A = this chain, B = another copy of it.
Amino acid sequence: MTSSAPAPEPPADDPGVESIGLDSDLGWAIRLVSGAFRRIATGSVAALPGGPRGYLVLMAVVSGPPRSQLAIAQQLALNKTVMTYLLDDLEAEGLLTRQPDPVDRRARRVLITEKGTRALDEARARLGMAEARLLGDLDPAEEQQLRQLLERVARTARLLEIDPAADCR
């Protein structure tokens, strides 16, 4: 229904308003894309405890050496209290284990299990198909362009924010 009335011309007696429109607003586009991706991704990883955040935790675990809960929380910019809840649920489902760190008995290393690996693989497959649907209008070169541009902006964002993990203490 939104597409029916693009509001072609506001009266435009105000010179500053003539080019105003959410359709050309970067933040609006980001909001739409981000929201759509979030909904689609939520469906794709619904089988995982914790949903999208559970998926991020599993991804972080498999994409590096065994680390402490706090290290993973900081990598994902998640609060460490949230990490406790997420790991509780993921461990209860047998997708990962918490193993005492041999050199620091305060810390616990997070390891993925065989079942967790299978669950992550399936979630990644579903997510890949959902991404393909969302990017269906783009040809491969354009999709690659979008990924690269987003990654560069993400890097800039990381530099702009003084402490990206400020809320992970």
Measured CB to CB, the residues of A under 8 A from B are 1-3, 5, 7, 10-11, 14, 16-17, 20-37, 39-44, 46, 52, 56, 59-60, 62-65, 74-75, 77, 117, 121, 124, 126-127, 130-131, 133-138, 142, 145-147, 149-161, 164-169
Contact = CB atoms under 8 A, between A and B. Distances in A.
A155 to B, nearest CB: 7
A77 to B, nearest CB: 8
A164 B30 CA distance: 15
A20 to B, nearest CB: 5
Contact of A157 (B25, B33, B147, B164): B33
A63 B20 contact: yes
A128 to B, nearest CB: 9
Copy tally for this chain in the complex stands at 2
Given A36-B160, A145-B149, 9 more contacts: A2-B158, A7-B65, A16-B121, A20-B62, A26-B147, A29-B150, A36-B161, A40-B167, A138-B153
Contact of A30 (B37, B62, B138): B37
A64 B52 CA distance: 36
A4 to B, nearest CB: 10
A116 to B, nearest CB: 12
